Amino acid sequence: MRNFDLTPLYRSTVGFDRVFDLLDTVGKAETGGYPPYNIERLDENDYRITLAVAGFGESDLDIEVRENTLTVKGIRGEGDEARSFLHHGIAGRSFERQFQLAEHVQIDGASLVNGLLNIDLKREIPEAMKPRKIAINGEGASNIKILNEDAA
């Protein structure tokens, strides 16, 4: 019961295509657990995604943002085929993991420390979209304000 038919909503709405596409992809999201990751909320506008990428160096990792989708790829080198393992328990396979970003979320930086890839995100809401207080003027105050603006 994970499949939802959003066709009726497409017929009666305008401009919500991205929302419906996002809902559609959430149901089809991969459930694979490699590499494991955390998503932290550091404060009201700051977030961090941490991926456990033991064995990967900076040159093996690629981080890309395209159309509000953050993609992290790990490309494994060709060195393991020549090695002979008695036990191979450390996962070191190539991977690709995607995260959907909300509007106005930007990448603030990335670092690789002790096998953990930290990607810092910041939500930067434009001034025009921030809530603002509207002053309530008494009767006739708006006329005075307009007269003052015309006189200037």
Ranges under pLDDT 50 in the chain: 1, 143-152
pLDDT of residue 144: 43
Residue 61 and residue 15 in one domain: no
Domain membership of residue 3 as a residue range: 1-31
pTM assigned to the model: 0.66
Which residues, in sequence order, are CB contacts of 4 under 8 Å at separation 6+?
Answer: 23, 27
* Domain count of the fold of the chain: 2
Question: Order of strands across the sheet with 105-113?
Answer: 37-41, 46-52, 116-123, 105-113
pLDDT of residue 91: 73
pLDDT of residue 149: 44
Residue 106 and residue 39 in one domain: yes
Residue 76 and residue 13 in one domain: no
Q: What is the pLDDT of residues 37-72, one digit of tens each?
A: 999 999 999 999 999 998 899 999 999 999 889 999
For 4-104, list the strands marked E by DSSP.
Answer: 37-41, 46-52, 61-66, 69-74, 95-100
Exposed, middle or buried by CB within 10 Å (0-12, 13-18, 19+), for 14?
exposed
pLDDT of residue 114: 93
